[in-house]
Amino acid sequence: MKKLLLIDSHALIHRFFHAMPPLTAGDNMPIGAIYGLCKLLLKIINEEKPEYVAACFDRPEPTFRKKEYEAYKANRAEVSSDLIPQLIEARNTFEAFGVKIFELAGFEADDIIATLAEKYKGEKDLQVVILSGDRDLLQLVEGEKVVADMLKSGAGEVERYNEEKVKEKYELRPDQIADLKGLMGDASDNIPGVPGVGQKTATPLLKEFETVEGVYENLVIISEKHAKRLEGFEEQALMSKRLATVDRNAPIKLNGLENIKLGKLDEKKLDAYFKKFGFVSLAEQAEFL
């Protein structure tokens, strides 16, 4: 079975930035996250052997989520001056690997990934593999056709999520992940949810009533304790669900999978790129791919 690898570039770089020990190039440019990214790409390409690959990036422009809820992600600290050059350099990293980049003003990388996954998940003999550290993307998992490799704490190791794995971890279907965020919120994105409702409360409610809408339609039969917390927050819960829901219809242009075919890695280009930053061990690994 052929594989389409969709990379959540920003999420990975952020995770590596915080997980990897500080590294600098000869010109004192920080490169710890770039090293982690290169190492992971070598590992994934070697193990998964994807036929098609796309690296998806966030853009600085406000997204439709920010327009709906001004406080969306407003709690995040200013981007570190050591991270900014690595986010920029990552584009050169993907170019060295022969991977095409996709980004779209007004949309997050999650939305581009969702759109490409939705577009190609029905292709015969093709599996979509999402590579990320952002569990919001688990809502896209579908059987074995769409799976997610989630970066674990620490650098470089990933955990595979198929539909059964998502159900095992959350006791909910992948398509209920946004509903879960709708009720419990998401502090990392400053999504409010319903005050006082956490995962332990939200999960059984969704197991019984399926969706945020279903929960509120049945408020009269929910226990008084839970109903009191939910009352008056229906619109906020629905908005939170919308904020957490990936857009599967972003106007991204890709005229066929052949345009993102990976092909054989260019050993000379990769070798030069790795040696530019002193990644000697990675240059040696690349020789064996």
Q: What is the mean pLDDT of each successive set of 10 residues along the chain, which is 289 residues long?
A: 97 91 86 95 94 96 94 86 94 98 97 98 97 96 97 81 97 98 96 97 98 97 94 98 98 92 92 92 72
Tell me the helix, strand and coil percentages in the chain, rounded to 5: 50, 15, 35
Q: What is the pLDDT of residue 153?
A: 67
Q: What is the pLDDT of residue 79?
A: 84
Closest CA to 39 of 155, 144, 165, 184: 155
Integer Cα distance of 75 and 52 in angstroms: 36
Pair (196, 267) in one structural domain: no
Q: What is the pLDDT of residue 157?
A: 87
Q: What is the pLDDT of residue 232?
A: 96
The structure tokens listed for 281 are 């061990």
pTM, two decimal places: 0.95
Q: What is the pLDDT of residue 21?
A: 84
SS3 143: coil
How many domains would you assign to the chain?
2
Q: What is the pLDDT of residue 147?
A: 98
Pair (68, 196) in one structural domain: no
Pair (238, 262) in one structural domain: no
Which residues constitute the domain of residue 215? 174-244
Query: Does the residue 287 lie in any domain?
Result: no
Q: What is the pLDDT of residue 28?
A: 87
Q: What is the pLDDT of residue 155?
A: 60
What's 239's domain CATH number? 1.10.150.20
Pair (219, 274) in one structural domain: no
What's 14's domain CATH number? 3.40.50.1010
Strand positions, DSSP E, 123-246: 126-132, 146-151, 158-161
Pair (224, 270) in one structural domain: no
Q: What is the pLDDT of residue 237?
A: 98
Question: What torsion do the CA atoms of 152, 118, 245, 146 make, to the nearest 10 degrees?
Answer: -30
Query: Does the residue 145 lie in any domain?
Result: yes
Q: What is the pLDDT of residue 156?
A: 74
Query: Does the residue 289 lie in any domain?
Result: no
